[in-house]
Amino acid sequence: MITVICGGVGAARFLRALRHLDEQLPGGHAFAGPVVGVVNTGDDTTLHGLAISPDLDTITYTLAGAIDPVRGWGLVDETWVAMASLARYAAIRPDGSAAAPTWFNLGDRDLATHFYRTARLQEGATLTEVTGEIAAAWGLGEQLIPMTDDPVSTIVELADGREVSFQEYFVQLQHGVPIRGVRFAGATTAHLQPAAIRAIRDADVVVIAPSNPIVSIGPLRALEGFDPLLAARRDTVVAVSPIIGGAALKGPADRMLTELGMEASVVGVARLYAPIAGALVIDPVDAHLAAEVEAAGVRAIVVPSIMSSPEIGAELARATLAAAG
Amino acid sequence: MITVICGGVGAARFLRALRHLDEQLPGGHAFAGPVVGVVNTGDDTTLHGLAISPDLDTITYTLAGAIDPVRGWGLVDETWVAMASLARYAAIRPDGSAAAPTWFNLGDRDLATHFYRTARLQEGATLTEVTGEIAAAWGLGEQLIPMTDDPVSTIVELADGREVSFQEYFVQLQHGVPIRGVRFAGATTAHLQPAAIRAIRDADVVVIAPSNPIVSIGPLRALEGFDPLLAARRDTVVAVSPIIGGAALKGPADRMLTELGMEASVVGVARLYAPIAGALVIDPVDAHLAAEVEAAGVRAIVVPSIMSSPEIGAELARATLAAAG
């Protein structure tokens, strides 16, 4: 069993790469077997009464082959009629604020997923149950587990002192403003999902996906028991660096690391993950930093990490799993 | 001020007819002035987490000139992408039931209204506030007031003893099954909206719209204080019969009346409304029943009641208001 600790886009692509690996293994499915994703829910939000789980949906849609390849999020062949119609209501509040914000785009096809999730949660189902049902509806072979069924909200403290939700920072402000802190509201009382605990404990290999270490992997690490679970099996935990050549492939991970006083490099990532991962996969462009990564106490595995083709993705997946021995 | 007691489609058309009347009054706006609709919310439901108010929306869309003229509900030029996408999730429940039902069609454009209403209610706004905001967003001159801000649910007891929500009866079962009772859950503790009380008390004329007397006007009458308010000013309360020639123009009002042991005719309607209305407008096709209507203690006003053209609607509105003196 392979368990992948997941944020959104980077994790979705790594999970897809595991499938490519599977396809390429000649005859013997050396690494084939159950694949479990334990997924960040700190980005989850409620909009217009709808329960939105961005990372879970990005992974589901990617693995279903239904993700929009250009945007990298949401469904392909999407329409935007509902959101466009919301504009009528966006401007009528006495105080000018938007009760039903239009800055968070929900496509018409995508809405069905939020309808289903919201309806099931209101029936009393857990997010874990609903997530499994949605994955089944899309025909996924992988098991997806939200990190917790309890509410956890990533809160970003901007440099000017204001606190905003992750989605406000990421989508509304387009992560274009400096920050000075991140916290995870609810994390101290939320429970790491028991199925996630088992998946981490029982996996042959645990991979920390190339996701934002602060706001994608950070919420998982804020849950009691998460770091100790990985630390206890650190030699078979391999992280894939989301920082390549000092920059994030996508999103604000590089700037966030710098703004929070860390190094926006594979070395900074290695220091962050040293307590919980025995190895870090880095791109050849960062090979010159391998010694510094190892000085942080983490083995450096050099392999092309930009999953720009199925072949590169499969080789990244192979090398990552091999790094766990 | 004219206050109209409203269900959905028939009431919407009567309110629209009041506008036509207004346009046709040469120079002098004899009946022009504030128009208030006090609207049934017993049909309201929550679907996929969204707060749905079918009668309020039918009236709003009709008065905004945005109603679909063929269906008679929902928006013109509507698309149905979200609902079509929901089919994926409709069949995956272990017990075969649908958590997010596909039998209640919500158009993509229409969804924006439910998003806004749901978001505002979750912020703590009352349904009355939100209804006013939505009416303003559509530029309505009329004031629309939900009958109550408290939850009231029309429950239909089927002949086989099962109880279903109004929407299950009306939409899912397409009102095609016999019933033996109707009740209004929550009505005994719900409060008639204070603005509605004032609108009924202070109006020059109160019109009971040509809506289903059982399930559209019934929920209002189930609220404490509603019937006495109308009874106290009965001479200036005029009802428009929704039954013409023994049949409902739309919906199951005729069958419901029969199944509940009443007469599916203007006479049956007159007996139902006798405590609260001094006059009943009936179509010429029912002129032969005028004496029976009057025997029930209600003046019969004979005027074409099928609002098939603006002129007929305006004349119906004119005669209705004139009946109140």
Residue with tokens 């606190």: A163
Neighbour-count burial for A87-121, b at 16+ CB within 10 Å, e otherwise: ebbbebbeeeebbbbbebebbbbbbbbbbbbbbbb
The Cα–Cα gap between A14 and B112 comes to: 35
Listed in order, strand segments (DSSP E) in chain A are: 2-6, 35-39, 45-47, 50-52, 143-146, 153-158, 163-165, 179-185, 205-208, 237-240, 243-244, 247-248, 279-282, 299-302
- Reduced to 3 DSSP states, what percent helix, strand and coil does chain A have, rounded to the nearest 5? 40, 20, 40
State pLDDT tens for residues A138-157: 999 999 999 999 999 999 99
Q: How confident is the model at residue A302 (pLDDT cuts 50, 70, 90)?
A: very high
Predicted pLDDT at A74 = 94
The reply to whether residue B100 touches residue A82, judged by beta carbons under 8 angstroms, is no
Return the pLDDT at B28: 42
CA distances in angstroms from A85 to A291, B5, B46, listed in the order given: 55, 29, 20
| B100, B108, B121 ranked by CB distance to A82: nearest | B108
Q: What is the pLDDT of residue B117?
A: 96
- Chain B contact present for A65, CB below 8 A: no
Average of per-residue pLDDT across A166-192: 94
Cα–Cα distance for residue pair A313/A307, rounded to 1 Å: 5
Q: What is the amino acid identity at position A271?
A: R
Q: Give the ipTM of the model, two decimals please.
A: 0.88
CA atoms within 13 A on the CB side of A106: 32
Whether the predicted pLDDT of B195 surpasses 90: yes
Phi, psi for B236 (deg, rounded to 5): -110, 25
Q: Would you state the pLDDT for residue B102?
A: 80
Q: Alpha helices of A138-265 — where are they, by DSSP H?
A: 166-167, 194-202, 218-221, 226-231, 253-259
Q: How far is B167 from chain A (nearest CA, A)?
A: 16
d(CA B91, CA B89): 6
Range name among A270-274, B198-202, B311-315 with the lowest pLDDT average: B311-315
* CB-based contact, A115 to chain B, within 8 Å: yes
* Minimal CA separation from B32 to chain A, in Å: 27
Higher pLDDT, B97 or B4: B4
B47-65: average pLDDT: 96
Name residue A264's amino acid.
A
Amino acid sitting at position A281: V
**Per-residue model confidence (pLDDT) at position B95:** 62
Chain A: give the shortest CA distance to residue B109, in Å: 5
Q: How far is CA A218 from CA A7, A18, A221, B83, in A?
A: 9, 23, 5, 36
Candidates B86, B116, B136; nearest CB to A116: B86
pLDDT at residue A30 tops 60: no
The one-letter code for the residue type at B72 is G
In chain A the domains, ranked by start, together with CATH numbers, are: 2-68+111-151+194-323 (3.40.50.10680)
Inter-chain CB proximity A47 and B119 less than 8 Å: yes
Alpha-carbon distance of B186 to A28, in angstroms, equals: 64
Closest CA to A42 of A148, A170, A173: A148
Average pLDDT of the segment spanning A178-199: 97
Burial group, residue A280, by CB count within 10 angstroms (0-12, 13-18, 19+): buried
Give the mean pLDDT of chain B.
93
- CA pseudo-torsion sign A78, A79, A84, A85: negative
Closest to A123 (Cα-Cα) out of A214, A175, A51: A51
State yes or no: pLDDT of B41 exceeds 80.
yes
Min distance A50 CA to chain B CA atoms (Å): 6
Evaluated on CA atoms B67, B71, B74, B80, the torsion sign reads negative
β-pairing, A143-146 vs A153-158, is unpaired
List, for residues A48-93, the tens digit of each pLDDT value. Answer: 999 999 999 999 999 999 999 988 889 999 999 999 999 899 866 6
3-state secondary structure of A185: strand
SS3 (DSSP) at A311: helix
d(Cα A278, Cα A232) in Å, to the nearest integer?
Answer: 11
Of the listed ranges A21-30, A181-190, B47-56, B269-278, the one predicted with least confidence? A21-30
User: What value does the CA radius of gyration of chain A take, rounded to a whole number of Å?
Assistant: 19
CB contacts of A86 in chain B (<8 Å) are 112, 115-116
Q: Give the pLDDT confidence score for residue A28 in this predicted structure.
A: 42
* Mean pLDDT, residues B25-34 taken together: 56
Residues A51 and A117 sit within 8 Å (Cβ to Cβ)? yes
Query: Which residue do the tokens 């692509």 mark?
Result: A13
- Is the CB of residue A220 less than 8 Å from the CB of residue A40? yes
Mean pLDDT in chain A? 93
pLDDT higher than threshold 50 for residue B27: no
Task: Work out the percent of chain A whose per-residue pLDDT is above 90.
Answer: 84
Are residues B122 and A92, on separate chains, in Cβ contact within 8 Å? Answer: no
Closest-CA distance of chain A to residue B170, Å: 21
Q: Is the dihedral of CA A61, A67, A72, A78 positive or negative?
A: negative
Cβ distance B119 to A111 less than 8 Å, yes or no, reads no
pLDDT at B124 over 70: yes
- Residues of chain B with Cβ-Cβ distance to A88 below 8 Å are 112, 137-138
pLDDT at A31: 54
Q: Kindly report which listed range (B48-52, B101-105, B306-310) carries the lowest average pLDDT score.
A: B101-105
Which residues, 6+ apart, have CB-to-CB distance to A43 below 8 Å?
A8, A53, A54, A55, A154, A166, A167, A170, A215, A216
Q: Which of B71-75, B149-153, B248-252 has the highest mean pLDDT?
A: B149-153
Q: Do B116 and A51 touch (CB under 8 A)?
A: no
Collapsing DSSP to helix, strand or coil, A113 comes out as helix
